[in-house]
Amino acid sequence: MEGSLGHTLVVRPGALGDAVLTLPALHALRLAGAESITILGAPASWSFLGATHTAPRVRDFSSSEWLGLFAEGVAFGPAAQATLARTQTAIVYLSGDTGTIEKALREARVKQMLIADPLPRGNGKEELLHAARRLLDPLAPLLGAGYAEDALAILTVEDDVFLALDEAETVRALERLGYDAVADGGFVALHPGSGGKAKCWPAERFARLAVKLALQGLTPLVFFGPADENTRREFEEQIPPGVSWECVNGRPLREVLALLTCARCYAGNDSGVTHLAARACPVVALFGPTEPRIWGPLGKRVRTMRAPGGSLERLRVDEVVEAVSGLAQERQ
């Protein structure tokens, strides 16, 4: 199956974490010679990508333009037709019955396609395969040998042509917080939210963590997303008056990424922001019921803390403070 990739369409719906974990697969395609890449997914989940000529284009998976992929007898919209007309290779990361999609791509004269289930299946070692590997390994018949390890080695914003920040983006992100430079003592980034309550260390403990780090001279940058309103309220209720911290609420992902590169360390739950942070700064990732061997963030300096028995209620504040302080001291 190995051959010229040409323009490549990657069908990859999902949330932010799913998108970040797909980066190694995208880099493998790039390194193997894909002329350009279009991602069919949720645009909000991919908005951390840079606006450079090397970055993949993102199209909306839920748009009526693409309904022809999922319903027989339905025509593609003009923009989808234009994309498919120049697509030579399609990678489809979906579970379940993909027969309709395969038929639609064949009828659109896509020369080669690969279907891969992105979710853990089976037992034993296969079940514990890291999510990024689960996306990468099926590409081997298409790409040939050698690209997976090179792609997995791209772990930082500085090394990643898809994420690359320019200085102006970082300056603007700091200015929006009222800073013309990184705070004296340095920033420490925290994200108390996640996609599910069971995956969240209690917001009250994040507040205690922020207080202890502030007492060490660090300035907490606390990130909240659109789904974190209750978490934000709980966090703010537990912060004593006079403690200096910065609320980063509902900011675009490019701005979040720029601020994360300014942090000496980050602490967060099993969330998409944690996966993004691991590309930008040292990370302490807090895991409860989910398996870090599958879903752990990829970065050059990541410490994963698994709560006893999978219950984040049992993870003590002092343990997390020690881990975060240790990593922060390494990045003066």
In the three-class reduction of DSSP (H, G, I as helix; E, B as strand; rest coil), residue 304 is classed as strand
Please state the pTM of the whole predicted model. 0.95
Which positions ≥6 away from 154 have C-beta within 8 Å?
23, 24, 27, 160
| pLDDT at residue 254 greater than cutoff 60 | yes
Q: Which two tokens stand for residue 172?
A: 């603007």
Q: Do domains 7-152 and 167-330 have the same CATH topology?
A: yes
Residue 51's pLDDT band (boundaries 50, 70, 90)? confident
The one-letter code for the residue type at 28 is A
Q: Has domain 167-330 been given CATH number 3.40.50.2000?
A: yes
Q: Whole-number mean pLDDT of the chain?
A: 93
Residue 332's pLDDT band (boundaries 50, 70, 90)? low
Residue 2's pLDDT band (boundaries 50, 70, 90)? very low
Measured CA to CA, the distance from residue 195 to residue 131 in angstroms comes to 17
Residue 309's pLDDT band (boundaries 50, 70, 90)? very high
State the average pLDDT over residues 232-252: 95
CB atoms within 10 A of CB 252: 12
Q: Enumerate the domain spans of the chain.
A: 7-152, 167-330
Identify the pLDDT of residue 288. 95
Residue bearing tokens 């691991």: 278
Phi, psi for residue 264 in degrees, rounded to 5:
-75, -25
Measured CA to CA, the distance from residue 113 to residue 224 in angstroms comes to 38
| pLDDT at residue 261 greater than cutoff 80 | yes
Q: Has domain 7-152 been given CATH number 1.10.287?
A: no
Which positions ≥6 away from 210 have C-beta within 8 Å?
190, 220, 222, 235, 239, 243, 245
CB atoms within 10 A of CB 220: 25
Identify the pLDDT of residue 1. 44
pLDDT tens digits for range 82-107: 999 999 999 999 999 999 999 999 99
| Residues 205 and 319: beta-carbon distance below 8 Å | no
pLDDT tens digits for range 117-160: 998 776 555 678 999 999 999 999 888 878 999 999 999 999 99
Kind plus residue range of the DSSP H or E element containing 151:
helix 147-152
Identify the pLDDT of residue 119. 86
